[in-house]
Structure 1
Amino acid sequence: MSSTQRRQRQRRRATILALVVALALVLPFVLPLLSAVAAPAARTTASGASAVSATAASTAPTATTGAATTPAGAVTAEAPLVVIGTTGVRWQDLSALATPNMWQLAQQGASANMVVRSVRSSTCPADGWLALSAGRRAADVPMEEFGTCRDLPPAREDGAVPGWADYLGAADAASYDATPGLLGDTLAAAGVTSVAVGPGAAVALATSAGTVAGDHAFASTSSVRMGAQVAQALPGHALAVIDVGSVRDRNRPLVSVPSAAGAPTLPEEPEPAETPTLPAEEAWLLKSPERGLQVAAVDARVGAVLDAVRTTAPAATVLLASLADSGSVALMQMVTAAGPAMPTVPAGGALLDTRSTRQPGMVQSTDLTPTVLGMLGVDVPAGLAGAPFSAVEDGRSGPARVAHLVDVNRHAVEIRSLVGPFYSALVLVNLLLYGVVTLGLNRRMLDGTAARLEARGGTTSARMARALRSRRPVPLLRALRTAAVVVGAVPVATYLANLLPWWRAGSPGLALYGATVVLAVAVAAVALLGPWRRRLLAPVAVVAGLTAVLLAVDVLTGARLQVSSLMGVQPQVGGRFYGFNNSSFSLFAASTILVAMCLTDPLVRRGRRVWAAAVIAVVGVVATVLDGAPSIGADFGGPPALIPGFLVLGLLAMGVRLTWRRIAVVLAVTAVAAISFSVVDWLRPPSERSHLGRFIETVLDGGLWSVITRKAAQNLTNLFGSTLTLLAIGGIVLVVMLLTRPLRTARGRDVGGHGSYGWLTGGNTIGRIDRDAVMLRPTLVALGVTFAIAFAVNDSGIVLPAIGTSLAVPLLVAVVTGWLLQHGSVAAPAPASPEMSSSR
């Protein structure tokens, strides 16, 4: 067969493989779409109720059982929905003795921790009520002193909400496309009768014009008077929203500050200033009495409201929620719901769930708006950030369920302070490893340091100089190989450590860090001491394989290990709660590419390049589907990075040279597959969409530019303000110095074992490593392509290549040091036979 025929045959194979990969990527998402189109009736109800309510039974995660959802049209004026709002109340504040009213309601209903993250790191009372009003993150204008919030004045007699222009101005300045007044406008358009009791409730039910939709009433701080006010206001209304007050931390009071444009204000008045001026401290409304007293006062008002509801509308559904933080520290708040519109399971106990988190017992404040509208049977506006509540069966007793929610919150609180030091240590350890490999093995530097020690004189200096001049690197290489594998095992160890209840220990930080180190050493021991220990790529296969499998299993079972873990998600931040977050995606991408390298290396060495490309295609398709499927990984930025990485790896495995035309084909396949993930998700009912479908809705609503600017700003902030940038740069420098340059040099000429690192190779050039690991070079290219694109298309930017580096580079160091131990100065420089290579 001539060389021309051989090249044509390779091109045909590459084309067929690319078509098969593209079909495999798109088909899993086209088939559900076709089935959904064939059965359109599943998306509507005969009564014309909203798709959110009608399809709520499908909104619970498939991993859970016993889910019950809110029926459409269950709320009427005779059986109203009563939303009781407070701020600063957490589950650990509740007990049967101190807060009997809230405690009793929690025993009867479905409960959860609620993430109240708003525009800023901590949420003020106005922010929480605005989230209910807008269905998105919205906030009051910031105060001069961090952690201080404005008090909410009552609505005027004509229903005008004081400070509304400030809220609109703050929403316009933020990048979350919030529309304060959306809930009020929607209720008014649907003809729902509603009443707001208290200043926060007036904010929640205000229309976009700044006036309360429906009726409004003043809320007394006296529990007795509040009960009478609710009893008088509730009849004849399908929805009642009641503000029962706030709980604030000491030295974090609510401050009475007039609107920047004058109080009260309306939207047509002048633009508000960015930061209202604080009054003198003696004018502050709240001096923060003991927390227990504040919570008891809130509970008394809740009890008065519940008594009034039982008397006036015994068939009402009650939703009690704490909408904001009590100070400058972001913490999850309490929420519970009971009544016919939010049924619990027959056992009488349940956890609240929502598709925005897919974590039973964890919801977000932005879920309240679609929940309220769904209970009322009102069509939910497209583009809301949240999803309606559902109740998921929980076998615990009422007190045990509250204890569980307290434990989950404690887990989230304890991990928050440990993440920063961990990442600092991760960067330091990796850079130390890179430094030892790059500088500590440099012969010129070792000799220069030895000469300076000899010039200093002394016994100790002479002994150190002799050690540095030693030409026997075996102990050092073995130590480096072991250290590299341990460092590479740290990421997977952080997830394994979350299987342990470390947050309940007397010293949670010591317990978590200790467990992570022990587990990393254990994983490294398996990689280095197993029966496969003599194979060159064994450490990579074990560590990367375990990382990939663990993350895949975790994302398939609800991403429980990622929540409140060192390299996972922090619930208080209000980011990703399910699927692959940026850190887990980086590890998954790096580990799956490395696994593909280990699986295909022996095939390529034996000349079975087509089979190797097929294996890469299978691994790539599985990884991409797991990452991008809306019901699994739900990662919009993942497939655009994964697909080209695996396509490039497959083409290089087949020996196909990359050209601009082929690169264009790779990018086209990537674009089609990536967009299909989001479009298919968008075509589902609003209540069933993940953030992929909501992104398409945002684009159609004209919000693409705000999303781009927000993500670009975050990308630049991470690039210039994160220590992880050092990790990424250090890893790139090490790969270039240790592998890329020697491999490129070895392709051009045989340079032997000269240079600063020649003493390690026993006459072999390190560039010859690709004779024993032929897929090493293609893997470096694939990793570079994947993380370059990931850096460009994700808001976390440099974080993605940095996290990927923390896994990939140490394992590549282990490959190099392992090769040096086998073919360097400890072994005769002989060419590897096919039989020897296949065993590695």
Structure 2
Amino acid sequence: MTKRRLAAGIGAFLLLIVTAQGAGANTSDKPKPNGRVLIISLPEITWSDLTQRDAPTIRGILDQGAVGGLTTRTITRATALTEGYLTVGAGTKAIGTGLTPILLASKGAGLEVGEKFGTGTAADAYEQRTGQSARQPIVYLGIAAAIAAQQEETYDAKIGALGDALKRAGYNSAAIGNADRTPSKSAAPEYERSLVTALMDSHGQLGGGEVGSELIEANAKAPFGLQINIDTAVSAFDDAWKPRSVVLVEGSDLARVDAYRNVVSPKQTLAITRAALRRTDAMVKKMMTKVNLERDTVIIFSPSPPSTTIPLGVAGMAGPGIDAGLLRSATTRRDGFVQLVDIAPTVLTQLGIKVPETMNGKAFTVAQTDMDANARRDFLIDSDQASQFRDSMITPVAIVFIIMIALLVVGAIISLNRPNRNQLRNLLHFGSLFTLGFVSAVYLARLFSFHQTSKFFYWLFVVAVAAIIGTISLAFYRRRANDDMLIALGLIVVIIGIDIITGGNLQFNNAFGYSPTVGARFSGIGNIGFSAISASTVIFVGFLVNRLGNERKFSRGVIIAWMILAAVLIIDVAPMFGGDVGGIIAMVPAFGLTAILLLGGRVQLRMRTVVIGALVTIGALTIMAAIDLTQPKGERTHLGQLIERVQNEGLGSFSDVVLRKLNKNIATFTGSVWVWMLPIVLGFLIYLALQARPQLRAITARTPELRASFIGFAVLAILGYGFNDSGVIVPGMMLGILGAVIIAQLALTASSSGLEETLNPESEPLRR
């Protein structure tokens, strides 16, 4: 019953916002009469590959336009070429695998209708598979499999949406490329012509271009002995490049290089990559003689990453009204970064065509910068390297944090059974402070470019800073009890809080933050950051009120605690700062409950209490949504974009988002090392409740205000897990912080004499 009421409340909230925003429906200009767009695809190419020596023409186009790092991630992290092109064509993340092995063989089968296929032609095979006649010169034989595959996902990608939109507006679409790995006349041809899927319509048909076997020629020195026939490709481009046209040209030799890299040495891989890039550049140079950047738009992108790594791809755009600068979009809200889903809306926007409501991507915009072309390229290469470094460190850092908590738990159990070991208690106390300092140190490490040095110096910095924080915190404890916790927890709150206010640069490419290669978030606060700052805050205010005094109902300590809770809430959830929708749902009830308990109020778990909490949370969501919707579309957070989707597509899109996040949440139980934090800390808490209840009582006897913090923490962890797609990562970080705090407190009350003293404290217990 509670779930139904909560869902109804959220639905009512969404309908309210949709109704309020109805007058602001999306509009677009009329199509430009002679607009043309050339899309150049560079499979598996990164910014570091594009040297002036190997690709002078492509570099020249990029240098005079706007550029960015492209997140190629679709539904799966390692995007295959077909998935990349399908995503471009849908304007939404799409999956490229079919449902059976026979359908998998059709992934790259974009054929000209007259080509031989099996015992007949491609047109015959298309009609057999779809029940439709082939009315266009090129067909995609995997169209039925591609559409069926999307039904298994929650992104609801509409395959061919870009092609349909162009056709409705009267534009011609064409694709030129052929990345086959075997001659078409071989006994078992391997088709790799998935570029067709980027511009085909929803029926799997494309109006023009050249993808047949005549586009490739034999060369014994090339990967698979095949290469693009540049003259044939240029001739096909000349035929397709007419007024009101969109033409996709693929550097198909580059795709063959990536497929070939597993059988050649790293040195030879570099050599054949450079050779393929030079040939692609030569082809583009000839085509650009027919392109006028004062009228025509050129978009350059990498549809998929190399098969061995997952770096940022290349994105660039040049043409009328496009100044030199850094690309960004409403899906990233960060200068210099765009996503694969943004390409289709960009093409349509450049032509003045309305972007279909089914597309989740947003058009590229240009952010002005003082960097010249070389500096922009260096910035993107450095960002990619930082992202690769972060991705390589995210699991080791999490494992180290979990191991530290596990060691503290083992030490605490030993200490509880042997309470007279003062050295062990002192070690546990410092170890807990060191562990809390470790969280701050990981964020501070992003101030330095460790990706340009080595992992050794990274670990040296993190360990040293954690030790310094632990030592300083310990020194404050010796001056006054609980000041150690105020320092260790307060630093986490301050570091993350200031970072979010100033742009979230410590979150970006951080092992406890997010990465553009993952593509889930590019700005604001990440889920681990939310976990760290919210858990630290809710415990911090308990220690703070105890430190400042709680002699009367509205004491100075309580008022300051309320102000801190409010400030952290705003930093985390406000659209211009953290932009954390899940944070609203978790923090408003948890922080509100903590604030009431610190004041001395009593809260009972009843349906009325749950309903009031839900209504207050919905009210906070409404306020944040209203603020978000006042921002320009390019600056809106996930909440504002969700409201737009609900407005355009109905409440069904909301359920899609919920299901998608739920699936991601559940997947973390098998795909994240953070899952180990749950049995370690929860098992320890159960042990304390069963075997060390006096010591557990001693913690709240020593600091009565922690009762409020612990209750608030429980609500925070449960809701934080339930409403964030990071799943166990959220309670994992929270429990790590809680575990370190509890073990530090146990270390201070473990001796029998200390236990008796803390069970009879002079301080007044928390009001009920």
TM value normalised by structure 1: 0.75
Residue pairs, 1:788-827, within 5 angstroms: 788-819=718-749, 824=754
Whether the 8 Å contact between 1:332 and 1:409 is mirrored in structure 2 is: yes
- C-alpha deviation, 1:832, in angstroms: 4.7
User: Residue 455 of structure 2 is aligned with which of 509, 522, 526?
Assistant: 509
Paired-residue identity, %:
23
Listed one character per residue, the Cα deviations across residues 489-509 of structure 1 (whole Å, up to 9, x for unaligned) are 11221111111111111xx22
Residues 483 and 382 of structure 1, relative CA distance in 2, 3 Å threshold: same
User: Residue 82 of structure 1 is aligned with which of 18, 38, 45?
Assistant: 38
Q: Does 2:204 correspond to 1:204?
A: no
CA–CA distance in 2 between the matches of 1:224 and 1:249? 19
Letter in 2 for 1:102: I
Residues 290 and 254 of structure 1, relative CA distance in 2, 3 Å threshold: closer
Q: Does 2:94 correspond to 1:119?
A: no
What is the SS of the residue equivalent to 2:393? Answer: helix
Residue pairs, 1:712-727, within 5 angstroms: 712-720=662-670, 722-727=672-677
Partner of residue 785, structure 1? 715
Whether the 8 Å contact between 1:606 and 1:834 is mirrored in structure 2 is: no
What is the SS of the residue equivalent to 2:353? Answer: coil
Residue pairs, 1:147-158, within 5 angstroms: 151-156=108-113, 158=137
CA–CA distance in 2 between the matches of 1:186 and 1:368? 14
Residues 689 and 192 of structure 1, relative CA distance in 2, 3 Å threshold: farther
Per mean C-alpha deviation after superposition, the further-off stretch among 665-674 and 572-581 is 665-674
Partner of residue 164, structure 1? 143
Whether the 8 Å contact between 2:69 and 2:314 is mirrored in structure 1 is: yes
User: Residue 314 of structure 2 is aligned with which of 324, 334, 352?
Assistant: 334
CA–CA distance in 1 between the matches of 2:393 and 2:698? 43
CA–CA distance in 1 between the matches of 2:491 and 2:105? 47
Partner of residue 322, structure 1? 302
User: Residue 522 of structure 1 is aligned with which of 468, 493, 499?
Assistant: 468
What is the SS of the residue equivalent to 1:580? Answer: coil
TM value normalised by structure 2: 0.81
CA–CA distance in 2 between the matches of 1:783 and 1:737? 19
Listed one character per residue, the Cα deviations across residues 316-367 of structure 1 (whole Å, up to 9, x for unaligned) are 22111111123153221111111214223xxxxx111122112221111111
- C-alpha deviation, 1:792, in angstroms: 2.0
Residues 674 and 233 of structure 1, relative CA distance in 2, 3 Å threshold: same
Listed one character per residue, the Cα deviations across residues 691-745 of structure 1 (whole Å, up to 9, x for unaligned) are 2233345552523444344333333332355432221222223345447986xx6
- C-alpha deviation, 1:513, in angstroms: 1.9
Partner of residue 296, structure 1? 278
User: Residue 490 of structure 1 is aligned with which of 438, 445, 469?
Assistant: 438
What is the SS of the residue equivalent to 2:59? Answer: helix
- C-alpha deviation, 1:631, in angstroms: 3.1
Listed one character per residue, the Cα deviations across residues 531-565 of structure 1 (whole Å, up to 9, x for unaligned) are x6432221221122221122122222332212221
User: Residue 236 of structure 2 is aligned with which of 229, 239, 247?
Assistant: 229
Residue pairs, 1:476-625, within 5 angstroms: 476-505=424-453, 508-530=454-476, 533-602=478-547, 605-609=550-554, 613-625=558-570
Residues 322 and 294 of structure 1, relative CA distance in 2, 3 Å threshold: same
What is the SS of the residue equivalent to 2:338? Answer: strand
CA–CA distance in 2 between the matches of 1:822 and 1:371? 70
CA–CA distance in 1 between the matches of 2:109 and 2:311? 21
Letter in 1 for 2:720: A
Residues 314 and 598 of structure 1, relative CA distance in 2, 3 Å threshold: same
Residues 804 and 390 of structure 1, relative CA distance in 2, 3 Å threshold: same
- C-alpha deviation, 1:780, in angstroms: 0.9
Whether the 8 Å contact between 1:317 and 1:341 is mirrored in structure 2 is: no
What is the SS of the residue equivalent to 2:298? Answer: strand
Letter in 1 for 2:484: P
- C-alpha deviation, 1:193, in angstroms: 4.6
Residue pairs, 1:745-760, within 5 angstroms: none
Residues 112 and 794 of structure 1, relative CA distance in 2, 3 Å threshold: same
Residues 829 and 369 of structure 1, relative CA distance in 2, 3 Å threshold: closer
Residues 723 and 203 of structure 1, relative CA distance in 2, 3 Å threshold: closer
CA–CA distance in 1 between the matches of 2:161 and 2:40? 19
User: Residue 417 of structure 1 is aligned with which of 371, 392, 398?
Assistant: 392
Whether the 8 Å contact between 1:99 and 1:296 is mirrored in structure 2 is: yes
Residues 640 and 329 of structure 1, relative CA distance in 2, 3 Å threshold: same
Partner of residue 615, structure 2? 668
- C-alpha deviation, 1:643, in angstroms: 1.1
What is the SS of the residue equivalent to 2:495? Answer: helix
- C-alpha deviation, 1:803, in angstroms: 0.8
CA RMSD, Structure 1 to Structure 2 (Å): 3.7
Listed one character per residue, the Cα deviations across residues 514-537 of structure 1 (whole Å, up to 9, x for unaligned) are 22111111222222224x643222
- C-alpha deviation, 1:590, in angstroms: 0.6
CA–CA distance in 2 between the matches of 1:544 and 1:800? 17
CA–CA distance in 2 between the matches of 1:687 and 1:406? 25
Residue pairs, 1:753-772, within 5 angstroms: 767-772=697-702
CA–CA distance in 2 between the matches of 1:435 and 1:513? 24
Give 5+ residue unaligned stretches, structure 2.
1-9, 114-135, 178-192, 216-227, 264-268
CA–CA distance in 2 between the matches of 1:768 and 1:254? 63
Residues 824 and 173 of structure 1, relative CA distance in 2, 3 Å threshold: same
Listed one character per residue, the Cα deviations across residues 635-678 of structure 1 (whole Å, up to 9, x for unaligned) are 22111111111121122112222221334322331233235545
What is the SS of the residue equivalent to 1:605? Answer: coil
Partner of residue 758, structure 1? none
CA–CA distance in 2 between the matches of 1:655 and 1:719? 38
CA–CA distance in 1 between the matches of 2:432 and 2:491? 16
CA–CA distance in 2 between the matches of 1:246 and 1:614? 66
What is the SS of the residue equivalent to 1:559? Answer: coil
CA–CA distance in 1 between the matches of 2:721 and 2:758? 40
Residues 650 and 318 of structure 1, relative CA distance in 2, 3 Å threshold: same
Partner of residue 693, structure 1? 640
CA–CA distance in 2 between the matches of 1:215 and 1:252? 27
CA–CA distance in 1 between the matches of 2:672 and 2:81? 31
Residues 801 and 486 of structure 1, relative CA distance in 2, 3 Å threshold: same
Listed one character per residue, the Cα deviations across residues 144-196 of structure 1 (whole Å, up to 9, x for unaligned) are 79x99954534435343332222212222222111111112222233345444
Residue pairs, 1:382-397, within 5 angstroms: 382-397=357-372
Residues 155 and 721 of structure 1, relative CA distance in 2, 3 Å threshold: same
Partner of residue 162, structure 2? 183
Partner of residue 126, structure 2? none
What is the SS of the residue equivalent to 2:259? Answer: coil
CA–CA distance in 2 between the matches of 1:497 and 1:288? 33
Question: Which protein shows a greater Rg?
Answer: 1
Per mean C-alpha deviation after superposition, the further-off stretch among 816-825 and 772-781 is 816-825
Letter in 1 for 2:70: M
Letter in 1 for 2:636: R
User: Residue 711 of structure 1 is aligned with which of 661, 684, 689?
Assistant: 661
Residues 204 and 679 of structure 1, relative CA distance in 2, 3 Å threshold: farther
What is the SS of the residue equivalent to 1:498? Answer: helix
Letter in 2 for 1:300: A
Whether the 8 Å contact between 1:370 and 1:380 is mirrored in structure 2 is: yes
- How many residues in Structure 1 have an aligned counterpart in Structure 2? 691
CA–CA distance in 2 between the matches of 1:646 and 1:170? 43
Letter in 1 for 2:75: V
Listed one character per residue, the Cα deviations across residues 269-304 of structure 1 (whole Å, up to 9, x for unaligned) are xxxxxxxxxxxx9xxxxx998222222222222222
- C-alpha deviation, 1:614, in angstroms: 4.0
Partner of residue 352, structure 2? 377
CA–CA distance in 1 between the matches of 2:690 and 2:366? 55
Q: Does 2:749 correspond to 1:774?
A: no
